[in-house]
Amino acid sequence: MSITVTENAAKQIEKQLQQRGSGIGLKLGTKVAGCSGFAYTIDYADKQAESETVFEQYGVKVLVENDDMDKLDGLVLDYVKNGLNASFKFNNPNATGECGCGESFSV
């Protein structure tokens, strides 16, 4: 089981945590939503729960609920700038489809 964080994503996570002034990392998960079934969730992590797995790369931590690992195992989290837009990008090998707007995915 693994989650990979690119160097660009790690830099952005670190920047956001510094701006926030607290937190141990980024919490990554899924929720039932959208037309394809699931949507990604991102939040700050202030502490680690026993039900979470921690992945650490480039000096930052990403915490994932164990219940979400079946949908996120192998995911590569990147941070991409495209013109004036910048956002986290999820490269998920488990996703079998995405909705037209890119907000949700199916497994």
The 10s digit of each residue's pLDDT in 47-101 is 999 999 999 999 999 999 999 999 899 999 999 998 888 989 988 887 766 655 5
Residues forming beta bridges with residue 87, ordered by sequence position: 80
Judge contact between 104 and 37, C-beta under 8 A: yes
71-97: burial string, b at 16+ Cβ within 10 Å, e else? bbeebebbbeeeeeeeebebebeebee
| pLDDT at residue 31 in the model | 87
pLDDT tens-digit map of 5-56? 999 999 999 999 999 999 999 999 988 876 667 888 999 999 999 999 999 9
Which structural domains are found in the chain, ordered by start?
4-94 (2.60.300.12)
